[in-house]
Amino acid sequence: MKHKSKKISFVASKSAGKVSGIFVRPDRADSLLVFAHGAGAGMQHRFMEAAALGLADNGIATLRYQFPYMEKRSGRPDPKPILYSTVRAAIAKAKELAPDLPLIAGGKSMGGRMTSMAASEESLEGVRGIVFFGFPLHPPGKNTTDRSEHLFQVTIPMLFLQGTRDTLADLTLLRPVCQKLGKNATLHVVEGADHSFYMLKKSGRTDAEVLGELCANTREWAKELDR
């Protein structure tokens, strides 16, 4: 299904200047995801584009946006304060674009983590929940839970969408973290998916099928936030 998209821009911070974004709103939207990209690829990466369309098919509008370093085509992510301010600026822009839609926020890998880290320092006004498309719990081969510590300061529900082959999130470590987070955490595991939710041919499932599952699961979780 095709959905109309709109290119936008907003000020990420006084020091970083403007960044660009893409707003997609389906005809019957019931929520809006402020959707941040991962560390190594911007908002137009094929996963981000496919996810935005899949979410639109499920009634979720999206505002994808660039972090300043990606806007400038730099290989090094911005300092965390700039990343946090960009998250907040994107949320403010989303409210301006669709004041009638309930907000959720999050992103792919680093984008989701920066959203939750911003929320751990100060609540994200108007945001009802955070969704992680692959939470990067640790660097590859360094199985620690240090990156999860801030999650216990987040006061809104969080959805973790994770693959069993994700080398950035050992599920034997992530599951206990989610259990400790209690009612604020929902973990949805995709058997055979890696950190980018790519599937091996022998799994019998396609990447597109898995992405459809992620988008549908996000919709059901978002609906539960209203109850």
Provide the whole-model pTM. 0.96
Which comes out higher in pLDDT, residue 97 or 142? Answer: 97
User: In DSSP terms, which residues pair with 34 in a beta bridge?
Assistant: 63, 105
d(CA 39, CA 109): 7
49-70 average pLDDT score = 97
Please give the backbone phi and psi of residue 195, each rounded to the nearest 5 degrees, phi first. Answer: -65, -25
User: In DSSP terms, which residues pair with 20 in a beta bridge?
Assistant: 9
Residue type present at position 203: S
Residues 6+ apart with CB under 8 A from 79: none
d(CA 186, CA 6): 31
Please give the backbone phi and psi of residue 191, each rounded to the nearest 5 degrees, phi first. Answer: -65, 125
Helix axes 207-224, 46-57, angle to 10 degrees: 50
User: In DSSP terms, which residues pair with 43 in a beta bridge?
Assistant: none
pLDDT of residue 141: 86
Residues 6+ apart with CB under 8 A from 196: 47, 134
Tokens of 79: 């300092």
The fold adopted by the segment(s) 5-224 is Rossmann fold (3.40.50)
**Site of tokens 């929320």:** 119
54-67 average pLDDT score = 98
> From the centroid of its chain, how far is CA 9?
19
33-59 average pLDDT score = 96
- pLDDT tens digits for range 108-141: 999 999 999 999 999 999 999 999 999 999 999 8
**CA dihedral of residues 107, 34, 221, 113 (deg, nearest 10):** 30
Helix%, strand%, coil% for the chain, nearest 5: 40, 25, 35
Mean per-residue pLDDT over the chain, rounded? 96
Domain ranges of the chain: 5-224
